[in-house]
């Protein structure tokens, strides 16, 4: 359960989320993912969102999520420029949680950006999508473990890549029975909370707890639903900036439950098994979160 919302609070009371993502390069343009993560963070009740994205696409991201503000990262025709990590740190201040990776793309500059953020940001960090794909070596694994307040949100393919970096056993395709043990193994070696996505979601924490949350719901099988989950988790973590250990895992579980509840509400309201858009999922989050709050 989440605490009742402070009726006398202001936007500073409810925390600030930093979203780092987006790509503008010859390989493609990805701007919806950070916008969805930002929207979800706001929809779960955080007070403020700042999006750090390549300068050429930042205005479009903020058009999609005008309640957020932006930090332009240096980029040229080929994408992010070297030094993007340092540029991020120069502007980062006051964040209570961060989402790193939605739509970020892959490459040496992106890897440096993710590693720089992990080494220097002290708030809880949700590593999602290309934030996870940047973690490819044992040194990256050690960096996550040293940070101490990281949430990893892999789908099965991303999990298999992380397992190789961390030197642990991986998931066998189609072997649902191994999901809890695999997520727990990653949580243990990474000293991180692991959110292993699938038809249901496993949340495993370094203290050995592992829970299966949610239910199979075909409307969730749509691009952007994972970005919404990452943003929702970060938005709740920003409201509990001192959460550590088991308390941090509890907030993550609340984010997973709210995400599942929002999808269920859309399905029940629409009466269909598909066709939901990810932004609609985000817009069902406020009522879902309220259902988790103490009276």
d(CA 104, CA 130): 6
Token code pair at residue 161: 């890549």
User: What pLDDT, on the 0 to 100 scale, is given for residue 171?
Assistant: 76
Domain ranges (residues) in the chain: 16-290
* Helices (H) then strands (E): counts for the chain: 12, 13
Q: Cα–Cα distance between 292 and 269 in angstroms, integer?
A: 20
| Other beta carbons less than 10 A from residue 223's beta carbon | 11
The backbone torsions φ and ψ at residue 73, rounded to the nearest 5 degrees and listed phi first, read -100, 140
Q: Which residues of the chain register pLDDT less than 70?
A: 173-177, 295
Task: Give the pLDDT confidence score for residue 170 in this predicted structure.
Answer: 79
The total of other beta-carbon atoms located within 10 Å of residue 14's CB is: 20
User: Which tokens in the block code for residue 196?
Assistant: 């292993």
pLDDT for residue 175: 65
The pLDDT, as a whole number, for residue 176 is 67
Helix (H, G, I), strand (E, B) or coil at 161: helix
**CATH architecture for segment(s) 16-290:** 3-Layer(aba) Sandwich (3.40)
Give the per-residue pLDDT at 295: 66
Determine the Cα angle at 254 with ends 253 and 256, to 5°: 65
pTM value is: 0.97
At which residue do the structure tokens 């990256």 appear? 140
């Amino acid at each position: 359960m989440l605490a009742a919302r402070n009726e006398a609070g202001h936007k500073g009371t409810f925390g600030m989320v930093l979203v780092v993502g987006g790509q503008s390069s010859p390989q493609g343009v990805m701007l919806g993912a950070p916008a969805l993560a930002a929207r979800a963070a706001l929809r779960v009740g955080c007070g403020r969102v700042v999006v750090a994205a390549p300068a050429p696409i930042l205005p479009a991201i903020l058009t999609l999520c005008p309640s957020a503000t932006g930090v332009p990262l240096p980029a040229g025709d080929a994408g992010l420029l070297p030094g993007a990590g340092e540029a991020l740190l120069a502007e980062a201040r006051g964040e209570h949680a961060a989402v790193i990776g939605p739509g970020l793309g892959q490459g040496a500059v992106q890897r440096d950006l993710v590693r720089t953020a992990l080494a220097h940001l002290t708030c809880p960090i949700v590593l999602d999508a290309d934030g996870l794909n940047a973690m490819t070596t044992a040194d990256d694994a050690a960096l996550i473990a040293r940070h101490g307040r990281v949430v990893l949100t892999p789908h099965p393919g991303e999990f298999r890549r992380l397992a190789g970096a961390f030197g642990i056993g991986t998931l066998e395709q189609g072997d649902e029975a191994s999901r809890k043990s695999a997520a727990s193994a990653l949580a243990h070696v990474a000293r991180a909370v692991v959110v292993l996505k699938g038809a249901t979601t496993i949340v495993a924490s370094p203290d050995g707890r592992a829970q299966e949350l949610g239910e199979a719901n075909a409307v969730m099988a749509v691009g952007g639903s994972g970005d919404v989950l990452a943003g929702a988790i970060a938005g709740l973590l920003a409201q509990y900036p001192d959460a550590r250990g088991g308390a941090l895992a509890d907030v993550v579980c609340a984010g997973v439950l709210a995400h599942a509840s929002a999808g269920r509400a859309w399905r029940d309201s629409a009466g269909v098994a598909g066709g939901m858009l990810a932004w609609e999922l985000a817009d069902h989050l406020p009522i879902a979160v309220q259902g988790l709050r103490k009276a």
